[in-house]
Chains A and B, each alone.
Chain A
Amino acid sequence: MNPSRKRKVRLIVALSAAVVLASALIYTSFSAASPALTPSQLLHEAQPGRTYMLTGTVVAGSVRHDGSVLDFAVRDRGGTAAVPLAYTGTVPDPFKEGREVIVTVEKQGDHYVGERNSLITKCPSKFKTAPPSEKQNY
């Protein structure tokens, strides 16, 4: 094969490999992702066995420590629909009633279980800057 043909072949091989890898990447991202839902959406759509990222505000008066399990409820930012859940794992320092949180949950039977160490708390914003919140993971 002459050199320019060789180069063309190399290019095609490389490009195909890239396309294949990229497709694998893209495909798995869609199947491995957890949808982000608000409490009202979660109550509506949650299927047992799937994980979801729940975003909302911690309901005042719902926080209870039960041994190493933290029970609390998350409601819609601007509404009342609330989801009670049981969470184990590290609790970020900013966590408090009225704060905005993101937690990965799974529906088990009738109740919701928070994934271990998936609780993220944002600090209150007040139209301006929100100082960094603490993130816990793994």
Chain B
Amino acid sequence: MAVLIVIAVFVLIGLIVLVVGTPLRRAALQRAAAAAGGAAPPSGETSEEPLRRAELEAAREAKYREIRDAEMDFRTGKLSEPDYRALDGELRAEALRILDALDELDRASGREGSEQIG
């Protein structure tokens, strides 16, 4: 019985090391391969981009929801027509700003991509 338990514990330790260590091993291998191939290793810099993109996309979704909410408010009689038009204009302007920022991001990463290929 005791032997079984000891074996079970070792199996568990092995599993944990495997699960937890895989990314580390993968990254080490990648770095080794990259060093051999001469290309730049993945740095922390470009990882900024997906974060910023996620942020902008979430902001965009929230803004769309606001626009729809405003329309709903108007149609259910909570806003007068002039108030609604004014609000709608404001919201759309804010949304355009977000879309512009996203486009800017696309262009920047597109440029980077073409640089790497070329």
A and B touch in the complex (CB under 8 A): no
